[in-house]
Amino acid sequence: MTTEQIVITLGLKVYTAGDMTNQEVTGGYVSDLLSDVMGHAREGEVWITLQSHANVVAIASLKELAAILLVKGVEPDKAVVDKAEEEGITLLGTVEDTFTITGRLFQLLSKE
């Protein structure tokens, strides 16, 4: 399943411009602890977090994650969006809480 299919199905907001939503998604990882994500997230996963600073983009790029999904209506600032675009990381958002959107993403990916 691609990030574009996930965006459409889950009704997510896309903060990054251009054709950055065609990455293949292999799973998801939920954490707000950056060192945890660095140590355990895997390539192709969607990182679900409420952290919205530039360091999340750097880690997502390093780990080759498919996307970052910000929860609870957290809005990234322009510098973070610009950095995500520069690094080729899809930056998404939802007003849903972490528990709810994680369950919905899990169900969606489990159908494949």
Domains of the chain listed by start with CATH number? 3-110 (3.40.1390.20)
The whole-model pTM stands at 0.95
Q: What is the pLDDT along the chain (112 residues), one digit of tens a residue?
A: 999 999 999 999 999 976 666 889 999 999 999 999 999 999 999 999 999 999 999 999 999 999 999 999 999 999 999 999 999 999 999 999 999 999 999 999 998 6
Distance CA 21, CA 15 (A): 11
Say if residues 92 and 81 touch (Cβ distance below 8 Å): no
Distance CA 7, CA 14 (A): 8
